[in-house]
Amino acid sequence: MGMTITEKILAAHCGKDSVTPGELINAKVDIVLSNDITAPIAIKEFKKSGATEVFDKEKIAMVPDHFAPNKDIMSAEQCKMLRDFAKEHNLTHYYETGRMGVEHALLPEQGVVGPGDVVIGADSHTCTYGGLGAFSTGVGSTDVAAAMITGEIWFKVPESMKFVYKGKLNRWVGGKDLILHTIGDIGVDGALYRAMEFTGEVIEKLDMSNRLTMANMAIEAGGKNGIVAPDAITEAYVKGRAKRPYKFYASDADAKYVDIREYDCSKLEPVVACPHLPSNTKFVSELSKITVDQVFVGSCTNGRIEDLREAAAVMKGRKVAPYVRMIVIPATVEIYRQALHEGLLDIFMNADAAISTPTCGPCLGGHMGILAKGEKAIATSNRNFVGRMGHPESEVYLSNPSVAAASAVLGRIAHPEEVGAVELVAR
């Protein structure tokens, strides 16, 4: 029996010729990641164990991005713990404010993670790197502490589900819509502890940004990881960027899947997740009566340059509606710089949107965009649970960047074509 791409990567990292779903393995890790919320716990456990050295200073990444730039004294103390630990152990991949970005956009951009890697992170959206063809998953802070000491972690090999996307995407429909539609189909626990393998002619044509978006939200269906087989598009992205050697894996033709789902993408219009679950999905055309108070474009899901271009294509020459606030946060410094050079920031500023230095802030209800009681937001982020972005009686809708931008212009959830938008770049 053949193996899936996920099984092949795990087998290679535990020194076996093959693995099977349900098998317990001990795998070597290529990157161990944590942030300013989760690293302090890991650091405390690291010290409590009596360890004095990390297993490899080049394979540990610490990114202060959630409450950074520091929003208060407590967050300053947490960020200082990362800084002190990174300095003490001379970590290669520590990113200070001014160089940092939202971790799951930053690490692929900087070539820290790559195809064929096993990556763990004390953040549930670590599954993002599956867009590159890596096995990447979120773990607890104590697991991170153990991995920083040993360079290894145990896994139960997940069963795999295959998702086949057929047809041709309509205008303004991208990776965010595909993954929201998928989560709407299978539910928030439909892929519980399973590998979500994204395949088909639509996936093969998606750029890296959209692939990363899809893998990013695998956890919202309960997935252990999301993954796309690497190809020429992957090679073009990682070539000259990767900090380490990488390897492409692909599923065997006779690999076993616990479930296979097929979708005709030609029937899709932009998808919106309604409160209070990512699985509560509707087409944008069904939600035209929903007004919004805040629009957020950014996060590890949709804060890349392609996302900003998409939002800017809608905002160009237009204004944010009265009494609506729009917050745009480029996910990394490099994305911010590129958006500046391309004139995207001018478009947003001319539209009366606010622009922030890279941070996760609003996505988790941390800072830079908290919702008051009764307010509604549409966001390009990945979660819309009760109280996710502020008051427990606020509401969050999730969408792609073009829908978020159109909603900012009209003050209600809207399709980009409702504002007469012309797509900036072809998909």
Segments making up each domain of the chain, as ranges: 5-262, 272-419
- Architecture of the domain delimited by 5-262: 2-Layer Sandwich (3.30)
Q: Are strands 135-138 and 152-156 parallel, antiparallel or unpaired?
A: unpaired
Domain 5-262 identical in fold to domain 272-419: yes
Query: Angle 160-164-168 (CA atoms, 0-180°, nearest 5)?
Result: 155
- In terms of Cβ atoms closer than 10 Å to its own Cβ (0-12, 13-18, 19+), residue 193 is middle
- Give all strands (DSSP E) within 167-302, no chain letters: 194-199, 225-227, 259-264, 271-273, 281-283, 294-297
The two tokens of residue 71 are 């929003």
For the chain, the maximum distance between any two Cα atoms, rounded to a whole number of angstroms, is: 62
3-state secondary structure 363-381: HHCCCCCCECCCCEEEECC
Is the domain spanning 272-419 CATH 3.40.50.300? The answer is: no
Residue 423 is predicted with a pLDDT of: 63
Q: Compute the distance between CA of residue 259 and CA of residue 361 in angstroms, rounded to an integer.
A: 36
How far apart (Å, rounded) are the C-alpha atoms in residues 395 and 256? Answer: 40
pLDDT of the residue at 424: 56
Q: What is the pLDDT of residue 422?
A: 66
The CA-based angle 323-326-327, given to 5 degrees, is: 140
**Structure-block tokens of residue 281:** 């999905």
pLDDT tens, per residue, the chain with 427 residues: 899 999 999 999 999 999 999 999 999 999 999 999 999 999 999 999 999 999 999 999 999 999 999 999 999 999 999 999 999 999 999 999 999 999 999 999 999 999 999 999 999 999 999 999 999 999 999 999 999 999 999 999 999 999 999 999 999 999 999 999 999 999 999 999 999 999 999 999 999 999 999 999 999 999 999 999 999 999 999 999 999 999 999 999 999 999 999 999 999 999 999 999 999 999 999 999 999 999 999 999 999 999 999 999 999 999 999 999 999 999 999 999 999 999 999 999 999 999 999 999 999 999 999 999 999 999 999 999 999 999 999 999 999 999 999 999 999 999 999 988 766 543 3
pTM: 0.95
pLDDT at residue number 420:
83
Q: pLDDT at position 421, please?
A: 73
